[in-house]
Amino acid sequence: MTHWFHRNPLKATAPVSFNYYGVVTGPAASKICSDLRSSRARLLELFTDVSCNPEMMKTAADSYFSLLQGFINSLDESSQESKLRYIQNFKWTDTLQGQVPSAQQDAVFELISMGFNVALWYTKYASRLAGKENVTEDEAKEVHRSLKTAAGIFKHLKEAHIPKLITPAEKGRDLEARLIEAYIIQCQAEAQEVTIARAIELKHAPGLIAALAFETANFYQKADHTLSSLEPAYSAKWRKYLLLKMCFYTAYAYCYHGQTLLASDKCGEAIRSLQEAEKLYAKAEALCKEYGETKGPGPTVRPSGHLFFRKLGSLVKNTLEKCQRENGFIYFQKVPTDAPQLELKANYGLVEPVPFAFPPASAQWTPEALAAFDLTKRPPRSP
C-alpha cells in the first residue's frame, strides 16, 4: 500500500525576540520571555526536521503553546483576555499566497498561525510515511492517525479561535473559512484513502470498498467546490489535485460496484459499470498530466507514474475483461446505455477529525510572574 498526496508549503514567519525592555520587571517574567523565545525557535526547527515524529512535535508544540497562553487568557480561567494579548506584533506568510506576509499585533493570531503550521506538519509527516514503497500496517495506522489529528487541529482553529481575531482574515489567506475548510476535508479524504487500501488488502466485500471510495470521491468534490471562488493564480494546482482524486476514487467506486453486480449475476450492468470506471480513470490520467503542468504551490511531480495510480488502471482493465469474457460465455446480457447510479452509503470506515485542544497555561504563569510585566513602563509608540 503506497499513496501520493499533494502538499502546499509550510507557513513562514519572522523571528520574535520577546524582549520587552522596561516592561519586564522581575526574574519570573524574564524567564517566561526567554523560554518563549527558545521554545518558539525549537518548534520552528522541528517543522523541517525529517527525524521529527509526532511525540517530539506534540512535546515541542505544548511547551510553546502553554507559555503563549499567558499572553492570551487571564490566569483565573475567566473569559477575560490577558493584559499582554496585544504587546507583540507577529508576521506570517500564507500557504498559497507566497512571500507576502500578514501581520497582526495579537497573540491569538500567533496561536492560530503556529497551530496551523503544526497541523500542516502532521499532513506532511503522513505524506512522507505513506509515500514509501512498502508501508507496514503500523505505519498505515500512523498515517491515518496523523491525518485525523491534522483535521482536528484545523477544525478547532476554525471553530474556537479564528472567530476571536480582531482583524478578520483577508480573502485567500489561510485563516479564511474557505481555505481552512478545504484543508479539513482534504485530511478526512486522505485518511479514508488509507481505510480503502486496508479494506482492499483484507479483501473486504466489494460493496463496502465501493461505498468508501464513493464517499471519498464526494469529499474531494466538496473540497474542490470550497475553493472554486478563489483566484486560479494560486488555487489552480491544488484544485487539479482535488479533481483528479475525485475522478480516481469515483473510478474505484465503479470498479468495485461492477464486482458487486457481477456477483449478483448482473453481468451487463457490471460491464457498463467497469466501462464508466475506465472512462473516469482516463479522465484522472489527463488531470494528472494537467496537474504536473500547472504552476502554483505544491510539488512538481507526475502522479500518473505513481504505483497507487497504476494499480487501479490494471485492476479496471482486468475486471472489465473478466466481465466481458463471462458475458460472452455464460450470461449474454445486454450492456445498458447509461452507467448505473451510485447511491452508495458506507456504514463503516468514515473518518472524523480527532478532537483537539491547546494545553492550559504553563505553571510558570503565576500571579507574581504576570504582575512582573508592567505595561505602564512601555516605551511610547513612534508615530
CA 344 – CA 150 distance, rounded (Å): 27
| Mean predicted confidence (pLDDT) in 255-271 | 88
- Those residues whose C-beta lies under 8 Å from the C-beta of residue 99, and which sit 6 or more positions away, are 12, 93
Could you tell me if 210 and 343 are in contact, meaning their C-beta atoms sit under 8 angstroms apart? Answer: no
* Structural domains present in the chain: 1-203+353-382 (1.25.40.280), 205-351 (1.25.40.280)
Evaluate if residue 223 carries a pLDDT over 80.
Answer: yes
CA 123 – CA 7 distance, rounded (Å): 8
Question: In the prediction, which pLDDT does 347 show?
Answer: 66
Question: In the prediction, which pLDDT does 382 show?
Answer: 45
Tell how far CA 265 is from the center of its chain: 41
- What predicted TM-score, i.e. pTM, was given to this entire model? 0.93
Task: Give me the helices (H) in the chain, please.
Answer: 27-47, 54-68, 107-130, 137-156, 177-201, 206-227, 232-263, 267-293, 307-326, 367-371
CA 150 – CA 345 distance, rounded (Å): 25
The predicted-structure confidence for 79-114, as pLDDT tens digits, reads as follows 789 999 999 999 999 999 877 899 999 999 999 999
Q: Which residue has the higher pLDDT, 33 or 338?
A: 33
The predicted-structure confidence for 340-357, as pLDDT tens digits, reads as follows 778 767 666 678 999 999
How are beta strands 102-104 and 90-92 bridged, if at all?
antiparallel
Evaluate if residue 383 carries a pLDDT over 50.
Answer: no
pLDDT above 70 as % of the chain: 92
Q: What is the mean pLDDT of the chain?
A: 90
| Mean predicted confidence (pLDDT) in 240-258 | 94
Which amino acid makes up residue 110?
A: E
CA 323 – CA 270 distance, rounded (Å): 7
Cα–Cα distance list, 42 to 49, 162, 190, 344 (Å): 10, 25, 29, 47
CA 111 – CA 358 distance, rounded (Å): 9
Report phi then psi at 132, rounded to 5. -70, 155
Least confidently predicted of 51-55, 220-224, 301-305: 301-305
The predicted-structure confidence for 131-187, as pLDDT tens digits, reads as follows 887 888 999 999 999 999 999 999 999 999 999 999 998 888 999 999 999 999 999
